[in-house]
A and B are shown apart, each in its own frame.
Chain A
Amino acid sequence: MTDKLVQPFSQKRTAELAESLSAGGTIKGRSLWADARNRFVANKAAMASVVVLLLVFAFSLLGDYLTQFDNETIDWDVMGSVKELGRPSLSNGHWFGFDESGRDLYSRVVQGSRISLSVGLVGAFIAVMVGTLYGSVAGFVGGRVDSIMMRLVDIFMSIPYMFVLILLLVVFGRSISMLFVGIGLTAWLDMSRIVRGQTLSLKNREYVEAAVAMGVSTPKIITRHIVPNLLGVVVVYATLLVPQMILTESFISFLGLGVQEPDTSWGALISEGVKSMNYGTLWHLAFPLFFFVITIFCFFFIGDGLRDALDPKDR
């Protein structure tokens, strides 16, 4: 930073500057977002995680095109003797080997990645939207409305959410959409609390007071002044929420309540892998576990990087 300041303006630059001043042109400002982006790009662990994560995404979306096998066809020859014939092998194109039922494990992992990632993203999205709206309204309106809204959150929070989720899946049937709804609906509670706290502190900032004084309406104040200033916190929390969603889904699937055959997810694949561990087919566990772990790690690193980049203390 400092060497940039010390460096004298090159003549060309000075000329440009003078020209833009005289021509009545405008000088581009450096927004807080631009600052944060620069800090984030400088964070090596976070940037590496972004790259790895993009590869995982690409794998889940495009992985199917790289193999001639699909995720349904059962190879009856292999089925009975997966341990001997179903090993991962580069020569026959079954890179990850076969699963317990004689299906191509590579295709299964691609399929599982797609479902796990979308559960994570969609679940986090629902949670963030509901939580941000709920929390910012409660925080900004304040008073009795705030008390009632937050007590409601307290009550919901006191119910063990795993229990609710399992109940939902049992009562309404096990489907992916139910899983989305169930996970999303329980995860917004934390979000709403965080956002409410932030809103309370933002509400007393002078620029919000200034907006009130100049006659800006309440909805406009929330969307124009509160939410953009909340965004930093929301973004950080959202990136940390995605792996949490993936973990929840995996746990539910591990218990056998989540996605159902023929669909699969990382959790379901890991669960199968664990069951067949005793038969010596360790690759059943290793491949899905690998993707699961690196994805979770990447999200955490990115979340950390974002938090450092957006930290208002650095301003």
Chain B
Amino acid sequence: MNDLSPLLSVDDLRVWFDIKRQGAMPWTPTDTLKAVDGVSFDLMPGETLGIVGESGCGKSTLARAVMRMVPAETGTALWLGEDLLSMSKREMRGHRKEMQMIFQDPLASLDPRMTIGQIVAEPLKTHFPDLSAKEVKNRVREVLDRVGILPNMVNRYPHEFSGGQCQRIGIARALIVKPKLIICDEPVSALDVSIQAQVINLLMEIQQEMGLSLIFIAHDLSVVKHISNRVMVLYLGNVVEISDSVQLYKSPGHPYTEALISAVPIPDPKAEKGKEVMLLDRDLPSPLDPPSGCVFRTRCPIAEARCAESKPPLKDQGNGQAVACHLR
């Protein structure tokens, strides 16, 4: 797979928001929130990239910037060689059928006034307006059947379904246009644990069948573990580590990744008891005023003087692991 060219290649993406201070005059300069600050990664066809980080680390913003749902400050996102971020809205609209998105809150992502048949058909009707009504109906039934929703439910409304079912409907909506990439924005964090596994398994099956690429966003590593080929760890809008999934769990490179992994519960009670949880003291610094040098410095247990001076670059360690830390 490595000799293929990447499906999506993001380079030095920055998303900044202007934040107005409370009660500020219209002419006072606004604060800048660097939600995503220079993120680069490649995504191969058929690959799953997990993106992990605490809430507010910019993982959702990153996904939305690639989808052009929030404007990016600088950077490029090459989709099969074409830059998504600089193309016109019309061109972008043509590409949208190739990349779909699944959202965090399954019920909220479905329009309460539409039947699920209409909801699932919407992307198809948007991108292929010439399809006959019959064909649309058949495709809707087919895809609902695939995600495990009885196709005779098409006339029901979202509030008549459970959270897990709603997420399946969301997946069906994403699948119906046969995309190449699905961005899953914390697709299971609003669901019960037992249902989480079902939804993740469904996503994995579908990915195998259709050869999809997935970007799977989550706030803890345990969810991402099974589904991802590679994992990217974000901290305050910066990539601190991007590694092969197996490698990352075996020997985390960055102190932050270490802390995240130590927080994942181990199923074995004995091991769990003896395990040392690496607690991060102090709160996440304000993203409006990130620390100088290494952004993780204020909470890093092994920080040194030079960490405050310069930002550590992302260094490839060989073995499929890249870490941004002066000491590794």
Contact = CB atoms under 8 A, between A and B. Distances in A.
Given A27-B155, A207-B109, A229-B111, A215 B96 contact: yes
B108 A214 contact: no
Interface stretch (A29-37, A91-99, A127-135, A271-279): A29-37
A24 B152 CA distance: 6
Interface in B88-147: 92-93, 96-97, 100-101, 103-105, 108-113, 115, 122-123, 126-127
B271 interface: no
Interface of A, secondary structure class, is: helix
A209 B154 contact: no
Given A21-B152, A213-B67, A29 B100 contact: no
A211 B156 contact: no
Contacts, number: 90
A216 interface: yes
A207 B108 contact: yes
B103 A30 contact: no
B173 to A, nearest CB: 7
A29, A30, A215: most-surrounded residue (chain B CB, <10 A): A215
A214 B173 contact: yes
Interface residues of A, number: 30
B155 A210 contact: no
A194 to B, nearest CB: 19
Interface in B147-200: 150-157, 159-160, 170, 173, 177
Interface string A182-210: 00000000000000000000000111011
Contacts of A216: 122, 126
B284 to A, nearest CB: 23
B168 to A, nearest CB: 15
A177 interface: no
A214 B122 contact: yes
Interface string A205-242: 11101111111110010001100110000000000000
B152 A32 contact: no
Interface in A1-45: 20-21, 24-33
Interface in A49-89: none
Contacts of A315: 112, 159
Given A206-B108, A228-B113, A315-B159, A27 B153 contact: yes
A29 B152 CA distance: 10
A27 B109 contact: no
Contact of B105 (A25, A33, A206, A215): A206
Given A214-B173, A229-B112, A206 B152 contact: no
Nearest to B152: A26
A205 B112 CA distance: 11
A213 B153 CA distance: 25
A212 B63 CA distance: 13
A29 B116 CA distance: 10
B4 interface: no
Most buried by B among A24, A25, A28, A213: A213
Contacts of B69: 209, 212-213
Nearest to B160: A29
A262 to B, nearest CB: 47
Contacts of B115: 29, 31
A207 B93 contact: no
A90 B156 CA distance: 57
Nearest to A29: B156
A21 B153 CA distance: 10
A20 B113 contact: no
A214 to B, nearest CB: 4
A205 to B, nearest CB: 6
A29 B150 CA distance: 13
A29 to B, nearest CB: 3
A228 B118 CA distance: 14
A227 to B, nearest CB: 10
Contacts of B154: 26
Contact of A205 (B108, B160, B173): B108
Contact of B157 (A21, A32, A225, A229): A32
Nearest to B106: A206
Contacts of A206: 103-105, 108-109
Residue among A29, A33, A315 having the largest count of chain B Cβ atoms under 10 Å: A29
A217 B93 contact: yes
Contacts of B159: 32, 315
A240 B159 CA distance: 29
Contacts of B153: 26-27, 29
Contacts of A212: 69
Contacts of A28: 155-156
Contacts of B108: 205-207
Given A209-B69, A214-B126, 5 more contacts: A27-B152, A29-B115, A29-B153, A213-B101, A217-B93
7 contacts: A26-B152, A30-B156, A206-B105, A214-B100, A214-B126, A225-B111, A315-B159
Interface of A: 20-21, 24-33, 205-207, 209-217, 220, 224-225, 228-229, 315
Per CB-CB distance, the 10 closest pairs between chain A and chain B, nearest first, are A215-B96, A29-B156, A206-B109, A206-B108, A213-B101, A214-B123, A207-B111, A228-B113, A29-B157, A26-B152
